[in-house]
């Protein structure tokens, strides 16, 4: 797009085949002009259209002539719409190229961001891992509490054994309590389990203390990748909006000074020409009429003389 001579550029766009074909299709001018091919419709449309520029003011004048004044107005208005559309689509400014590049990058980053989000959510769901650091702290606190309860239960069992036999109900309850606490501690510690595995066991609600460091590495990598892509996406989004603003500034603006109006008078033929033609036709018809009457009289007189 030439910014030094925008008027001449605009006139060239308006006279282009692309603009004319869009107008022809919009108003079905091939049917209106009774022609089969686009080439013939373009010739007629070009003959009916006048586009010129005022060199001093840079204002472009568009006038369309047609037997239907409303159609002429609509076609003139369509020229302005086509010009605005083509100017925006044909712009090759640096801001436009930057905007197109950022637009493609945003699509790629958005796709990667969605994939990372799905991967992290699936990993967390599969291993019951939301935040390994906070989960590890909570597990250590729970293990400490269970360890204290186990020591207390073992002390109670020792006291009960001193007073009762092994078949006593209280002794059996204390021993069952100790077994349950030891089982919970083994699950928390991951004793006897496969530490290298990442998948959560069916009977285990949370990962064990032994599994958390291994899961934490993968979780941290996925979280870091997701956070990095979120940051890139946010930065590119801001740059994309700025590029659209710069593109709008660089595109030549088109303002309509006078809206297309329906003509109040016929542009052709001129009234004086119509009157002159009408007078000539009337005079010729009068002469023909007089000559015919005289000729008829002469024939009538000659017929009468021959009878006498």
Mean pLDDT of successive 10-residue stretches along the chain, which has 308 residues: 64 88 92 91 92 84 89 91 80 70 88 86 71 60 70 77 76 80 66 47 52 66 83 89 76 70 70 78 88 79 60
d(C-alpha 263, C-alpha 66), whole Å? 10
Rounded to two decimals, the pTM is 0.44
Taking Cα atoms as reference points, which of 65, 81, 79 lies closest to residue 16? Answer: 79
Contact partners, residue 1, CB within 8 Å, separation at least 6 = 9, 87, 90, 91, 92, 93, 251, 252
β-strand partners of 62: 51
Q: CB 268: neighbour CB atoms within 10 A?
A: 6
**Angle at CA 24, nearest 5°, toward 18 and 28?**
150
Q: Let me know how long the chain is.
A: 308
Give residue 225's pLDDT.
84
Helices 212-250/94-127 angle, 10° precision: 160
CB of 181 within 8 A of CB of 95?
A: no
Residue 269 class from Cβ within 10 Å (0-12 exposed, 13-18 middle, 19+ buried)? exposed
């Amino acid at each position: 797009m030439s910014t030094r001579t925008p008027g001449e550029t605009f006139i060239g766009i308006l006279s282009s085949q692309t603009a004319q074909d869009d107008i022809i299709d919009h108003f079905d001018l091939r049917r209106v002009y009774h022609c089969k091919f686009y080439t013939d419709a373009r010739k007629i449309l070009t003959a009916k259209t006048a586009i010129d520029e005022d060199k001093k003011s840079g204002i472009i004048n568009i006038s369309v002539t047609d037997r239907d004044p409303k159609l002429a107005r609509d076609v003139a208005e369509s020229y302005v719409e086509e010009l605005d559309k083509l100017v925006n689509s044909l712009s090759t400014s640096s801001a436009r190229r930057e905007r197109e590049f950022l637009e493609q990058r945003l699509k790629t980053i958005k796709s990667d961001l969605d994939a990372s989000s799905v991967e992290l959510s699936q990993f967390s769901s599969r291993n019951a891992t939301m935040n390994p650091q906070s989960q590890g702290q909570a597990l250590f606190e729970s293990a400490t509490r269970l360890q204290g309860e186990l020591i207390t239960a073992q002390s109670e069992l020792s006291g009960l054994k001193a007073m009762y036999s092994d078949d006593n109900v209280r002794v059996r309850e204390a021993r069952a309590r100790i077994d349950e606490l030891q089982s919970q501690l083994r699950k928390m510690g991951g004793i006897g389990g496969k530490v290298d595995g990442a998948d959560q066991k069916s009977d285990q609600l949370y990962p064990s203390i032994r599994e958390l460091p291994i899961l934490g590495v993968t979780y941290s990598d996925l979280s870091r990748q997701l956070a990095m892509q979120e940051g890139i996406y946010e930065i590119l989004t801001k740059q994309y909006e700025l590029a659209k603003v710069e593109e709008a500034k660089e595109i030549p603006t088109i303002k309509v000074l006078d809206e297309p109006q329906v003509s109040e008078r016929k542009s052709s033929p001129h009234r004086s020409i119509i009157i002159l033609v009408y007078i000539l036709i009337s005079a010729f018809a009068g002469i023909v009429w007089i000559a015919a009457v005289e000729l008829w009289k002469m024939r009538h007189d000659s017929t009468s003389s021959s009878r006498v």
